Amino acid sequence: MRVPTVIVIVGVLQSSLAQGRCWAKLAIMRRQSVQDDLLSGGLVALKGRSRRAFARSSHLGKIDSAEEQALSLMRITMNICSRLKLSRTVALVPLMAVMLAAPVNGQQIGQSQQIFSANVIKPSGQPIIPLFDGWFPNNDGTNSLCFGYFNLNSEESLDIPLGENNHLSDDRFDALIPTHFEPVPPRYRHKFCVFTVIVPADFGVDEEIIWSLTIDEQTLSVPGRIIPPYVMDEPASGGRGNVAPWVRMSLDGPRGRGRNGIHAESVLSASVGESITIPVWIEHPEKNVWLGWSKHTGPGDVGFMLPEYGIVINNRAPATRATAVASFSEPGDYVIRMQTINTVAAFEFYCCHTNAYFNVSVSP
């Protein structure tokens, strides 16, 4: 049987934060599709009351025409914007979010009449998306779940303490969850695999560990699962020839590589307002290697003289030394994360980088 032609209404929800306005733009495009594809859409990323309100109002049968649906959608999105002060809501994130179906014999409306947002990234006021980057098997039979994040702000960093606003769904596993979230990097897309959760060999494909981040009462979550499509090469990729750099925290210390990371056994000391140098030794078969330094956890701000840079590997030496110069704004215990990979572009191929975590105790 021929699938009926339907009108799809694409609701485009945007927010104008600078002017404190919130508005919805709607567009209609004609598609031939299956209603089922569309009806389960909706503002799925919205939580709680707003989502239910939308679901109630958009239920087919209550609203007869595409035009009425469009108007209803606009009212709802306006209401949502008003209630949630959208600066922190995920409703800002996707360009779009809403698709409704109306079984009418509609005319084609040119797609150029639609209005789409291209401004996913904004300077501030937006959420952080927790990401599941994938998983990889370890030599001992365990598996590692890799989590990263995408801060949708180009200028605003956020700190979210561990606890109800930043946690894993299963506290059986020890994981070095970050509490500091840097703005989106200018040259690549997100912070890749900033920590892993190692799960036992009998962790099933139907099990999951959920990482949740809550900002201004809006919670965004992502599940980590051992499912085949998300398997990652580690610590090397045959095709592109990429291999994670070896890292040592002292010239004669043990070396390690990969996303599970190497963790400092010692604690560096620093004072507020004074710079310290954090050394690291890198080995890699390629000539050039990239390094990036970040605050992972800690009470205050951390400034780096060079947060990221490339180094030239000295193949005549056992390892090539690199350093970070860091300063701290408040006393307390910090973890500094260093990521290294042969090129930044290799991140998007998901292989292979090394995480290294340094402990720093900062006195007043």
Residues that bind other proteins (CB under 8 A): 1-2, 5, 10, 12, 30-34, 36-38, 40-41, 43-45, 90, 93-99, 108, 110-112, 114, 116, 118-121, 129-132, 134, 150, 152, 184-190, 220, 222-223, 225, 227-233, 237-240, 348-351
Residue 321 CA to chain centroid, in angstroms? 30
Distance of closest approach, residue 130 Cβ to other proteins, in angstroms:
7
Measured CA to CA, the distance from residue 209 to residue 76 in angstroms comes to: 33
Contact 66/28 with Cβ under 8 angstroms?
Answer: yes
Measured CA to CA, the distance from residue 335 to residue 316 in angstroms comes to: 32
Nearest to other proteins of 70, 249 (CB atom): 70
Using CA of residue 131, residue 133, residue 137, residue 139, what is the dihedral sign? negative
Measured CA to CA, the distance from residue 46 to residue 115 in angstroms comes to: 21
Nearest to other proteins of 293, 350 (CB atom): 350
Distance of closest approach, residue 361 Cβ to other proteins, in angstroms:
35
Helix%, strand%, coil% for the chain, nearest 5: 15, 45, 45
Nearest to other proteins of 38, 86 (CB atom): 38
- Do the strands 98-102 and 5-16 form a parallel or antiparallel pair, or are they unpaired? antiparallel
Nearest to other proteins of 334, 347 (CB atom): 347
Distance of closest approach, residue 363 Cβ to other proteins, in angstroms:
39
- The count of C-alpha atoms lying within 13 angstroms of the C-alpha of 358, restricted to the half-sphere facing its C-beta, is 26
Nearest to other proteins of 45, 276 (CB atom): 45
* DSSP single-letter state for residue 273: T
Residue 97 CA to chain centroid, in angstroms? 18
Distance of closest approach, residue 212 Cβ to other proteins, in angstroms:
12
**Residue 359 burial by CB count (10 A; 0-12/13-18/19+): exposed, middle or buried?**
middle
Measured CA to CA, the distance from residue 100 to residue 26 in angstroms comes to: 11
Distance of closest approach, residue 148 Cβ to other proteins, in angstroms:
9
Distance of closest approach, residue 122 Cβ to other proteins, in angstroms:
11
Distance of closest approach, residue 64 Cβ to other proteins, in angstroms:
23
- Do the strands 332-341 and 320-328 form a parallel or antiparallel pair, or are they unpaired? unpaired
Q: Which helix (H) or strand (E) holds 38?
A: helix 35-39
DSSP 79-119: HHHHHHTGGG-GGGSSS--EEEEE-S-PPP--GGGS-----
Nearest to other proteins of 132, 293 (CB atom): 132
Nearest to other proteins of 290, 350 (CB atom): 350
Distance of closest approach, residue 42 Cβ to other proteins, in angstroms:
8
Distance of closest approach, residue 1 Cβ to other proteins, in angstroms:
7
* DSSP single-letter state for residue 56: H
